[in-house]
Amino acid sequence: MSGILRVGVVASDDARDPAARSGTPHGVLSGLESLGVDVPVLRAAPPAVLERGVALVAGGRGAEQGMLDQRLRARGSRGLYSASVARLRGTAASARARSTAVDAWVQIGAGFSLATTAPFRCTTT
């Protein structure tokens, strides 16, 4: 490691997007960068098709009525908040974090668990 502090930010959305999660990840990222910290950004998301497939299965059957596409959309929406998707996001984030050298991590959100040997702080919005 160099003499510059390196603190990674990991979030389920794009941390560089000011509109994501009410701007919290972007604010954390911008604040750290304004202090001269080197901030690698990781997205805690597997490939979209994999995440959507797991969400669809995890969403289970509900009481929704309507066309097939509406029922599938409702099931997938429920599934995005499932433990299965959280584990998938955690696995994706942790794999990326292992290949990124940092002094510490800031995890934005509690929709996944980051497994790392570097110190980390989890914030929820």
Is the CB of residue 76 less than 8 Å from the CB of residue 59? yes
- For 85, other C-beta atoms within 10 Å of its C-beta total 25
The 10 Å Cβ neighbour count of residue 109 is 18
**What average pLDDT does the segment 73-93 reach?**
81
Q: Look at residue 73 in the predicted model and tell me its pLDDT.
A: 64
- What secondary structure letter does DSSP report for 35? T
Instruction: Write down the domain spans for the chain.
Output: 7-123
Residue whose pair of structure tokens reads 């919005």 in the numeric block? 125
Whole-angstrom distance, CA of residue 45 vs CA of residue 11? 8
Q: Per residue in 14-57, pLDDT tens?
A: 899 999 888 999 999 999 999 999 999 999 988 888 888 787 77
pLDDT the model gives residue 1: 47
In the chain, % of residues over pLDDT 90: 41
Whether the pLDDT of residue 78 is over 90: the answer is no
pLDDT, residue 53, reads 79
Q: pTM for this structure?
A: 0.77
Give backbone dihedrals phi and psi of 18, rounded to 5 degrees, phi first.
-60, -20
Average pLDDT over residues 72-76: 63
| Model confidence at 10: pLDDT above 90 | yes
